[in-house]
């Protein structure tokens, strides 16, 4: 699961050699919608029926927050590096904590506050690391807004996820998102030459649709049924160093000392906050 999700931004970089960010989002969401629809069909007997009052909520949280997160993630990725993207996404537990505290679901303690301050120091260093021009403040900022949407989806959609399960919630997101994004494929890109797209870009797009969006989540929910949640979520600490290593290996991205220090501070801050 961790490796599948780690390779997602690398696949995004490869796919954007031929596809524009918005066309990539639309194609990936459409393919994911088909796949998650098939999964939902086979699980239909075990899925609870959706209450009429929850349809609009499921569409809002799924399309508005989840697909909105994907739109910003891919557009941000086009302006920053894989390593920066991975370390910024590592901040998700911090934002979830802040939003959950505002809702009264969590409470601040001294260790959590110290952890957050260390994370902020790491982010300040990360913003200053722009080796080779691959990462830019604009790209980092867009990715950060993306994780705000993802964190909001996690906190405010928690009751819906408990009630209906992650598969149904993702089905609403990707199927609804596919419908909304069709004009991007057939309207804005009506004259796009799909035949000229390299097989590597097609493969990367399909990987993003099938791997992280569908199979990664299926593994995640399976793992939660066999392991304590704390052990499953602890795997998130492997994501940034793996992404940094893979991006250097497959994309030739530069790994600087400042990036290493910034990433270490962010992971340390997240660890202290979660322990708190």
The per-residue pLDDT for 178 is: 93
CB 246 within 8 A of CB 70: no
pLDDT band for position 132 (cuts 50, 70, 90): low
Per-residue pLDDT tens digits for 151-198: 888 787 777 877 887 788 888 889 999 999 999 999 999 999 999 999
Question: Quick one: pLDDT at residue 112?
Answer: 81
Give the pLDDT confidence score for residue 230 in this predicted structure.
Answer: 62
Of 162, 156, 185, the C-alpha closest to 62 is: 156
The CA-to-CA distance between both ends of the chain, in Å, stands at 26
User: For residue 229, what pLDDT is reported?
Assistant: 64
Of 136, 127, 144, 133, give the one whose Cα is nearest residue 258: 127
> Residue 10 is encoded by which pair of tokens?
């690398």
Asked if the model's pLDDT at residue 231 lies above 80, the reply is no
- CB within 8 A of 24, min separation 6: which ones? 12, 15, 16, 74, 205, 208
Residue 36's pLDDT is: 92
As to burial, measured by CB atoms within 10 angstroms (0-12 exposed, 13-18 middle, 19+ buried), residue 71 is buried
Beta-strand runs (E) in 117-207: none
Cβ contacts of residue 258 below 8 Å, gap of 6+? Answer: 125, 128, 129, 131
Residues 79-90: tens digit of each pLDDT:
999 999 999 988
Percent of the chain residues past pLDDT 90, beyond the cut? 38
What pLDDT score was predicted for residue 128? 79
């Amino acid at each position: 699961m961790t490796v599948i999700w780690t390779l997602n931004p690398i696949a995004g970089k490869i796919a954007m050699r031929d596809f524009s960010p918005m066309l990539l989002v639309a194609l990936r969401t459409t393919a994911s919608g088909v796949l998650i629809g098939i999964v939902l069909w086979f699980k239909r007997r075990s899925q609870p029926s959706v209450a009429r009052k929850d349809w609009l909520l499921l569409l809002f949280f799924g399309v508005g927050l989840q697909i909105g997160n994907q739109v910003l993630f891919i557009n941000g990725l086009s302006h920053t590096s894989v390593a920066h993207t991975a370390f910024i996404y590592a901040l998700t537990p911090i934002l979830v904590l802040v939003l959950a505290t505002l809702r009264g679901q969590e409470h601040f303690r001294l260790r959590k506050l110290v952890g957050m301050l260390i994370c902020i120091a790491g982010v300040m260093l990360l913003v200053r690391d722009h080796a080779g021009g691959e990462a830019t403040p604009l790209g980092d900022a867009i990715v950060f807004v993306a994780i705000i949407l993802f964190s909001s989806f996690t906190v405010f959609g928690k009751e819906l996820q408990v009630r209906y399960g992650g598969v149904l919630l993702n089905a609403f997101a990707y199927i609804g998102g596919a419908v909304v994004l069709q004009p991007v494929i057939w309207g804005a890109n009506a004259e796009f030459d799909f035949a000229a797209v390299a097989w590597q870009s097609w493969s990367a797009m399909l990987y993003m649709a099938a791997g992280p969006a569908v199979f990664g989540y299926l593994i995640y929910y399976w793992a939660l049924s066999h392991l304590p949640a704390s052990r499953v979520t602890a795997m998130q600490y492997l994501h940034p160093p793996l992404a940094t290593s893979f991006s250097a290996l497959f994309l030739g991205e530069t790994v600087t000392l400042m990036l290493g220090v910034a990433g270490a501070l962010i992971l340390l801050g997240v660890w202290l906050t979660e322990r708190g």
